[in-house]
Chain A
Amino acid sequence: MAVDDATITEVQLGGRRGGPDVATLRTDKWWKLPVTTVAVLSAFIVYATWAAFFGTSNFFYEAHNLLSPFYSPCLGSICKTQGVTSSPFLGWWQLSPALIILVFPLGFRMTCYYYRKAYYRSFWRSPVACAVQDAHSTYSGETRAPLILQNIHRYFFYFGLVFNVLLTIDAVQAFIWPGGGVHMSVGTLVLCLNASLLWLYSLSCHACRHLCGGQVRNFSKHPIRHKLWKFVTPLNAKHMQFAWMSLIVVAMTDVYVRLVASGTITDFKIF
């Protein structure tokens, strides 16, 4: 048949399907994963909300220069009263400084390809597990507002990088204590771990992989981009793990700073 003679025939809809009309025939414990996802993400959301709205003291431990990642950069006026000297202030902002900041990491994670999978499955149940019926009768995926906005994920990735730099600066500053000299404590290590995991999370991002080199058709003509792509590709394969680890560690870092700043525990000094 000549190429021009080929016609595109319409897809025939309908026709009876085989198998019984049930939501799923799966017999394994497919609900375990979505239930765990809902539990962990909800716990994080509840904690982050509390930390941003109500935890407006004890987010900074002055003696060891430890600043909670939820409050960095510390922009609000309360930062001055808490003794934070390392960040610029917005004197007019009376609310929790965490509110200005959390929008970006929140947007970054909300539009992340991995978290999208996680919450579309577990919260939206579309589908809750493979070969289990979608909980909704109509479906338009990410083709309409608001979900079409997921396509701006790369801009959140750029903002994410800025935050990584700021949190890295915080981690470095935590080595320099107000009394003078370079010191290290468990808290310093916690801040370093947090910053490293956030870097790994960002560098393993799918948008990052695309922008590094995934975009090009011709690796052989773009050797540097190919190298970058080869560097981030193995990280990208672990994106899910980094997503969970960095989420949990960022909350734990905040908890740690608060416990230390409130005097509940001591920040053990290493040197």
Chain B
Amino acid sequence: MADLTMRIWRGDQDGGELVDYEIDSQEGEVVLDVIHRLQATQAPDLACRWNCKAGKCGSCSAEINGMPRLMCMTRMDQLPEGPITITPMRTFPIIRDLVTDVSFNFEMAKRVPAFNPPAMPEGGYRMQQIDVERGQEFRKCIECFMCQNVCHVIRDHEENKVNYAGPRFFIRYAELEMHPLDTNDRRELVREKMGLGLCNITKCCTEVCPEHIKITDNAIIPLKERAVDAHYDPVAWLGRKITRRTKRSAAEAAADRP
């Protein structure tokens, strides 16, 4: 007897609906296993993305019982009793079934002014271990885009997408701003054009990140504090007027986008 109900959203740009599939449970399975069994048996045309099945490629993001999760890392035995709802990521346009068009994220990736080290003879760059360690956390990102998906700034307000880098790219900006060899100053750029002020630090990005990156505490808030240094703090402003500016401006930084 089938003891599982998988309630899966089926559809495309023309619309769709939740469809119930009854299937046997098997021991030790993750959600993605069940999806694969459904593809092999009842729903050969069910579309989903996956690649590594190890929580490392970031392809299988979906919403399981309404929460963004990686399908390959969500164990069936940890889900509550009753039908299990699987829907595609909400924030991005649908392609088909569980597959969404995430190109918004690649657009925002293109806008990040690249790493810009000072000119130096070959082999001249040196970094100390404590400086290397600082950005490591951000490098764990697998680009599952679940943080982008859960962020209410664009999830519930489509119009904000035009000027909003989103949490995944805030960690990129933070990493570059904390890089000892980088000479760009992106603080005004993130404040003015990348929507840093739209984030209200409600931490949903941190809650869903499968890599447990402390996105809000370690990237967004430090960026917000840097925006205060660069823009809002009257004393820091005075200090800048007195001391010589050494970092490049946002406009100069934006000029070397890849």
Chain B positions 188-229 with a Cβ under 8 Å from a chain A Cβ: 195, 197-204, 207-208, 217, 221-222, 224-229
A148 touches B130 (CB 8 A): no
User: What are the residues of chain B within 8 A of A25 when measuring CB–CB?
Assistant: 63, 65-66, 85, 87
- Chain B residues within an 8 Å CB radius of A12: 93, 103-104
Contact B68 A18 (CB under 8 A): no
Contacts known (A15-B101, A28-B65); A143 close to B198, Cβ less than 8 A? yes
User: Does B134 contact A139, Cβ atoms closer than 8 Å?
Assistant: no
**A217–B182 CB distance below 8 A:** yes
- Whether the Cβ atoms of A117 and B67 lie closer than 8 Å is no
| Residues of the A chain whose Cβ atoms lie less than 8 Å from the Cβ of B58 | none
B232-A151 in contact (CB<8A): yes
B92 at the interface (CB under 8 A from A): yes
A122 to B204, CA, bound (A): 14
Quick one: closest A residue to B93, CB to CB?
A15
Q: Which residues of A contact B134 (CB under 8 A)?
A: 219
B interface SS class: mixed
Contacts of A24 in B (CB 8 A): 66
Which among A91-99, A126-134, A181-189, A253-261 touches the partner chain? A126-134
Give the CA-CA distance A217 to B186 in the complex, in Å.
13
- Are B198 and A20 touching (Cβ within 8 A)? no
Nearest CB of A to B165, in Å: 11
Chain A residues closer than 8 Å to B148, beta-carbon distance: none
Within 8 A of B (CB), among A3-37: 3, 6, 8-20, 24-28
**Interface size in chain A (residues, C-beta < 8 A):** 56
- A206 near B131: Cβ-Cβ < 8 Å: no
Q: Which residues B160-177 have CB closer than 8 A to chain A?
A: 160-162, 177
- A138 to B, closest residue via Cβ: B157
Complex Cα distance, B200 from A271, in Å, reads 50
List of A residues within 8 angstroms of B111 by Cβ = 8
**C-beta contact mask, B128-162 vs A, less than 8 Å → 1, else 0?**
10110010000000000000001011011111111
Residues of A within 8 A of B197 (CB): 141-143, 148
**B131 partner, pick from A120, A126, A151, A218, beta carbons under 8 A:** A218
